[in-house]
Amino acid sequence: MKKLRTLAEKPIIGGVVKRAMTSLASNDAKVISRHFSQYLRPQIATDDDLKHEVYRLRHQVYCEELHFEDVKESHEECDEFDDRAIHCFVRHLGSKNLAGTVRLIGSNSPHELLPLEQFCGEAIDHPELSPANFPRHSICEISRLAVPENFRKRAIDQFKGAATGAINEQVFSETELRCFPYIAICLYLAATAMAMQTKRYHGFVMMEPRLARSLTFVGIKFQPIGKVIEFHGKRAPYYIDARELRNNLSSGYLKLLESVEHDLILSGGLKPPTASQSKGQDPTLQSINYRQHPSTN
């Protein structure tokens, strides 16, 4: 796959290689989607106990592993944006541990800035795709995506000494190991479902450019809207329309999205689509977890 990525950047054959990579990824996703729910279960944190689990996982990743934030006495990483966010997590069914989390932050007035606006506003230079150009009730930010080290490592990353976070093949099956790299993609798809359910179609995120490029092979096409800055590493602001994301997904990843939505409905965080939505009309799902305010726009 690494050689294919190199060829994908070539001017003449790059287009063909990219299509081949997308096809390979889609076929693999079809297989993964059949196994994903056997080992991993996406859920929305619908009560305080689940949210505290999310905050502890974020502390583990952002404070203890990556050292992006200072270690807290509470061993929970949370901030002022959490009260107006929907929190999603993925639970590993075998160990009951959280395998990843992401939040979707909303805004209902010009005074409720997205983190990207508040901390990285100077990086946004797109004349049209700025959060300020959309009604506040229609924007959101994908934030605090975190996957702990033991679910980021694969069998090939193991080494002697039982280092913290190394995968133990006696604990995780080969099929489970194949699913783990899809946890981050699963979280982006869960964020898509949460954006659709709240009609916050205009999504923003700060991410590494190389991650944005990799996600295009899945059909998740983030559009750059500003320059790269130093923010916990090289990051740039990106925009995505949740409605277009669903339309651009390859068939394999569309199946994975449907699996994610099914699990989120079972968790009590999403309501099933209505009959009209099932017939291909607006697929927006209603939220029962978001703190709604009347829009000031």
Q: What is the CATH number of the domain that holds 192?
A: 3.40.630.30
Coil vs helix vs strand at 249: coil
Coil vs helix vs strand at 227: coil
pLDDT digits (tens, 9 = 90+) for 129-166: 999 999 999 999 999 999 998 887 644 433 332 222 23
Domain residues for 129? 2-270
Domain-embedded: residue 292: no
Res. 200: pLDDT tops 90: yes
pLDDT digits (tens, 9 = 90+) for 241-256: 999 988 888 777 888 8
- Predicted pLDDT of residue 214: 77
Domain-embedded: residue 290: no
Res. 240: pLDDT tops 70: yes
Between 179 and 241, the more confident residue is 241
Domain-embedded: residue 297: no
Between 167 and 134, the more confident residue is 134
| Amino acid at the residue 127 | P
Cα–Cα distance measured from residue 119 to residue 226, given in angstroms and rounded to the nearest whole number: 14
Q: Which residues contact 216 (CB under 8 A, 6 or more apart)?
A: 222
Mean pLDDT of 62-89: 95
Q: Please, what is the average pLDDT of the chain?
A: 78
Domain-embedded: residue 132: yes
Mean pLDDT of 38-48: 93
String of DSSP letters for 59-118: IIIIIIIS-SSPPPTT-----TTGGGEEEEEEEETTT--EEEEEEEEE-SSTTS--HHHH
Confidence of residue 293 (pLDDT cuts 50, 70, 90): very low
Global model pTM greater than 0.85: no
Residue 99 in tokens: 């395998």
**Into how many domains does the chain fold?**
1
Q: 131: which strand partners? A: none
